[in-house]
Structure 1
Amino acid sequence: MPDNIVAGGVSVDTRHWIGGRRVASSETFTDVSPIDGGTIGEISRGTALEAAAAVAAAKAAFPAWAATSRAERARILHAIADGVEKRIEELSIVETTDNGALLRSHRRGVIPRVAHNFRFFADWLLKLEHEDFETRGHTNHVSWDPAGPSVLITPWNAPLMLATWKVAPALAAGNTVVLKPAEWSPLTASLLADIAAEAGLPAGVLNVIQGYGSEIGDALTSHPDVRRISFTGSVPTAKRIAESAAGNLTPLSLELGGKSPLLVFADADLDLAVDLAVEQYDNAGQVCLAATRFLVEESVAEEFTRRFVEKAARLTQGDPRDETTDIGPNIHPRQLEKIDAFVQRALAAGARAVIGGHRKDTQYYAPTLLTDVAQDSEIVQEEVFGPVLTLQTFSTEEEAVRLANDTRFGLAATLATGDAERAERVTEQLVAGTVWVNCFFVRDLQAPFGGSRHSGVGREGGTWSFDFYCDVKNTVTAPNGGKNHG
């Protein structure tokens, strides 16, 4: 097969990146664009052999990279960010071609955020410290030691941004990396390897291996030389990774699914609440943080629904390369089938589609809002990961909190209210890693990010990322060099 394919007019190498060089596999898998279902090209399909080679390369490169000064690591991360910024247009069009998200979003926010990820963790590294403290005259000094080769397994809904949420802190921490991108959207990970090499990242510090998780996942996550594993994706896959890592007691960071609520109280600014609600269709509903369950106080539910339907009707669904498009396609025909199956089962069980409830064609699912859904129903309890929302009502604050917390997930929650005291009361009771009050998707890298319950294990962001990717050490020193002055 050819070593390169062209995606959106941009040449992308289809081979793995291992030990500072391109490595091809004998087998391939087909990468398909969700925009029209057309084939983009054939991608090297990794095996356990390539997985072992990638880990070996990361292990070999680790001692020198771990010994590299903080200042030099930070300089290289900034150089990677420079490379990303020079190629924003190329990265944006490749990402849109590969995963179907809006081109305007990639250009204006998502890909610039990739560069920011590297800059943030480069800068945070340089100020990472814990104030020394005394214990009976002894000095305690906390330090962060690089842990070792890290396997990072990333999802398809925001491929490069979510990958670099992990790659940037892992590299900043002094770890070497094996990145396994999702097989439905592998292309920008390959471009990242090129950018990192051009920025001067030493060979073997970043490795990229492509393929199916079912074929190479265990070879990566069970490898005895892997010191950290970070995964973003589904709960069932996370359980398999945890089982695989258990034999070596490899520490895990897991950012998993969500079934997050949007609580709308009668005292809320309804226009704001509706804006927040319609925003949940972002990226065709393929956002783990999305508030897919609307919980609306009974007295305003009818008016909220009316305004929501009016605003949702103004959304434009279509080609994500068009500046006027608001909702693009879903990632893959299999995902579309999964979404539709959820909706059809819900309708058969008695749910009512206020809008949508059907496919538009083989790539696009109509934005959907379902009512008359039971709290214990599948559509309320399970993550759909598509443009499908539900609406339930409540009559008291206590009922709102109970419904909000009544799933196995706990990734995020959004609250619309005009009462500051109520906001404080309710947020204290919500089970969620992130709570937004009268806003949505405000995300700062210095804040902790992660989920509760089945939504994840651990936190990413700021010092929390370094705590995970490092072995945190405390050194205790006796006073006066340990001399006994009796």
Structure 2
Amino acid sequence: MTEHTLTVAGVAVDTRHWIGGERVASAETFTDVSPIDGSVLGEISRGTEAEAAAAVAAAKAAFPAWAATPVAERARLLHAIADGVEKRIEDLAIVETTDNGALLRSHRRGVMPRVAHNFRFFADWLLTLEHEDFETRGHTNHVSWDPAGPSVLITPWNAPLMLSTWKVAPALAAGNTVVLKPAEWTPLTASLLADIAAEAGLPAGVLNVVQGYGSEIGDALTSHPDVRRISFTGSVPTAKRITRSAADNLTPLSLELGGKSPLLVFADADLDLAVDLAVEQYDNAGQVCLAATRILVEESVAEEFTRRFAEKAAAIVQGDPRDEATDIGPNIHERQLEKIDGFVRRALDAGARAVVGGHRGEGQYYAPTLLTDVAQDSEIVQEEVFGPVLTLQTFTTEDEAVHLANDTRFGLAATLATGDRDRAARVTERLVAGTVWVNCFFVRDLQAPFGGSRHSGVGREGGTWSFDFYCDLKNTVTAPKGWKDHG
């Protein structure tokens, strides 16, 4: 091992940036800490404006050749990266669990296989990307997707590698070069991804990884005139700063932001299913942007729903995420834990009642919590907590349910439990959300559009929508005459 390598459960991880096909160290570092037990994992190179500029320069230099690479070769390299991910699923799983505290069993069985699928899906979609030619007064219209240029991708800590590759894969498939900036609380698997991509044969400069604090290098990346696309997943305040930073260059943005999603439970629903859906919202210690944290229950079944919910929530096993028996692990950081606890304490002081939880556990664990007696205009109902905290409100009519569901500044997702198909159709049509699940939750297909409405985001990615964002669409109109016969 070298001074720039740390070891996580036997897996070596380089702590330096990956720029232009080389490892680059910074003069200063930041400390990476595991949320599981607070142990220090190592010191990570702390990027400055200089490293940000170098990464963009490397992406710009690599862009012409990568953009000109035939689509079949681009697709082959993306499949090779997927092969590399699959060979290292165990390494990636244990490193990410240690770094962000999510369940090891989920990383092994679902998340890391999904990382590989991200690359395979967009590689295959690239090969089928086309729009049928059409005629205008005898002229032929041909639509094409041209690579846009260097892309800055800024990703969150709650599902670091999966959400990074959800952006990296389509950007690379589109023919763009990439500067990936992972969250400073979870930088390790992005470094491993750089190794995997290099081993797969991805040319130098096509993928670059710069680590550090967004407050220190974010503006240098997002305001750079050579950056042609910015995709960000994170908070609304940070998104506003990025938008201002990108404005001078009119750099196109894709923003996937926060949520305060509702779960509507009607009296005609399968109540056991509805309870299962509600308890599922504690997944990943509540650190899921799509989570339906506002449970809205028809008044006639609210008491029975609450009783069953409390019973099921009591069976949740919270603890070390490396243990197969654990259902939810720790929250990511002491700062986040204080934020969660502050939300709950203020809600309790304002008259809310904790049916379940309502307090911190040991270390960086927060007890799964359900609060009732909350007002619609209260902070706990209106603002994203991003922890294992749910609220429960009741309604008496369909109109009231829809009003409560839509009455926040967010619009990322919504979940609906009902046994009436006609009601499902009526209600889903009226909900403001980028994704609506009916009698299910978190069923996602990469070919579907994904994004949020209102303050939950700008734009959609997934399938062709990803290529629409990462490319410059061009329509070529060809006249039927004016040709010379060179035969």
Q: Aligned equivalents of 1:3 and 1:283: distance in 2? A: 30
Aligned AA (1:34):
P
- Structure-2 separation of matches of 1:480 and 1:307: 73
Q: Does 1:406 align with 2:407?
A: yes
Offset of residue 361 of structure 1: 1.7
Separation of aligned partners in 1, 2:400 and 2:135: 48
Task: Note the C-alpha offset of 1:346.
Answer: 0.4
* Structure 1 unaligned residues grouped into runs of 5+: none
| Secondary structure of 1:338 counterpart | helix
Letter in 2 for 1:270: L
Q: Post-superposition shift, 1:241?
A: 0.1
2:173: which partner in 1?
A: 172
**Equivalent residue number for residue 144 of structure 2:** 143
What do the CA deviations read for 1:139-163 (whole angstroms, capped 9, x no partner)? 0000000000000000000000000
SS at match of 2:481: helix
Aligned-residue offset at 1:8: 2.1
Deviation of the 1:9 alpha carbon: 1.8
- Summarize the alignment of residues 93-242 of structure 1 with structure 2, pairs less than 5 Å apart: 93-242=94-243
Amino acid at match of 1:444: D
The whole-number CA distance in structure 2 between the counterparts of 1:276 and 1:56 is 47
Equivalent pair of 1:151/1:230 in contact (CA under 8 Å) = yes
Match of 1:41 in 2: 42
Amino acid at match of 2:411: G
Equivalence for 2:355 = 354
- State the distance in 2 between where 1:409 and 1:355 align: 25
> Taking structure 2 as the reference length, what is the TM-score of the superposition?
0.99
Contact 1:262 1:416 in 2 (8 A): yes
Residue 55 of structure 1 corresponds to which residue in structure 2? 56
Matches within 5 A, 1:225-374: 225-374=226-375
- What is the correspondence of 1:418-429 to structure 2 with a 5 Å cutoff? 418-429=419-430
Distance (Å, rounded) in 2 between the aligned partners of 1:267 and 1:328: 34
Contact 1:336–1:362, Cα closer than 8 Å, also in 2: no
Deviations 1:400-456 (A, max 9, x none): 000000000000000000000000000000000000000000000000000000000
For residue 440 of structure 1, what is the aligned residue in structure 2? 441
Question: Hey, what's the Cα distance between the residues in 2 that align with 1:359 and 1:480?
Answer: 75
- Distance in 1, matches of 2:44 and 2:65, equals 31
Offset from partner CA, 1:310-333 (integer Å, 9 cap, x none): 011111000000000001000000
Q: TM-score, normalised by structure 1?
A: 0.99
Cα deviations across residues 25-72 of structure 1 (Å, max 9, x unaligned)?
000000000000110000000000000000000000000000000000
Cα separation, 2, equivalents of 1:256 and 1:26: 32
Query: Shift in Å at residue 184 of structure 1?
Result: 0.2
Q: Within 2, Cα distance between the matches of 1:320 and 1:276?
A: 21
CA distance in 1 between partners of 2:320 and 2:467 (Å): 39
Q: Structure 2 stretches of 5 or more lacking a match? A: none
Deviation at 1:2, TM superposition (A): 1.2
Q: Is the 8 A contact 1:292 1:389 kept in 2?
A: yes
Does structure 2 retain, via aligned residues, the 8 Å contact 1:296–1:393?
Answer: yes
Change (3 A) 1:481 1:438: farther
CA–CA distance in structure 1, aligned partners of residues 322 and 144 of structure 2: 47
Deviation digits for residues 106-151 of structure 1, max 9, x if unmatched? 0000000000000000000000000000111110000000000000
Match of 2:472 in 1: 471
CA contact (8 A) 1:142 1:475 kept: yes
The whole-number CA distance in structure 2 between the counterparts of 1:481 and 1:410 is 52
Q: Which residue of 2 aligns with 1:3?
A: 4
Cα distance in 2 between the residues matched to 1:268 and 1:482: 66
List per-residue Cα deviations over 1:445-477 (Å, max 9, x = no partner). 000000000000000100000000000000000
Taking the aligned partners of 1:263 and 1:402, their CA distance within structure 2 comes to 11
Please list the CA deviations of residues 283-303 of structure 1 after superposition, one character each: whole Å capped at 9, or x if unmatched: 000000000000000000000
* Partner AA of 1:263 in structure 2: L
CA deviation profile, 1:198-221 (whole Å, cap 9, x unmatched): 000000000000000000000000
Aligned equivalent of 2:81: 80
> What do the CA deviations read for 1:374-424 (whole angstroms, capped 9, x no partner)?
000000000000000000000000000000000000000000000000000
> Which SS does the other structure have where 2:341 is aligned?
helix
Q: CA deviation at 1:481?
A: 4.2
Give the structure 2 partner of residue 30 of structure 1: 31
Secondary structure, in 3 states, of the residue corresponding to 1:145? Answer: strand
Instruction: Output the amino acid matched with 2:307.
Output: R
Partner SS state of residue 101, structure 1:
coil
TM alignment of 1:368-407, pairs within 5 A: 368-407=369-408
Q: Secondary structure at the match of 2:392?
A: strand
Determine the C-alpha separation between the residues in 1 that align with 2:9 and 2:101: 12
Structure 2 Cα separation of the partners of residues 215 and 441 of structure 1? 34
Root-mean-square deviation (CA), in Å? 0.7
Q: Which moved more, 1:474-483 or 1:39-48?
A: 474-483
CA distance in 1, matches of 2:225, 2:481: 42
Contact preservation (8 Å) 1:125, 1:172? yes
Give distance in 1, aligned partners of 2:330 and 2:481: 67
- The secondary structure found in structure 1 opposite 2:411 is coil
TM-superposed CA distance for 1:482, in Å, is: 5.8
Question: What amino acid is the match of 1:385?
Answer: F
* Whole-Å separation in 2 of the counterparts to 1:135 and 1:277: 52
Q: What does residue 66 of structure 1 align with?
A: 67
Distance 2:456 2:8 in 1: 34
What SS class does the counterpart of residue 54 from structure 1 fall into? Answer: helix
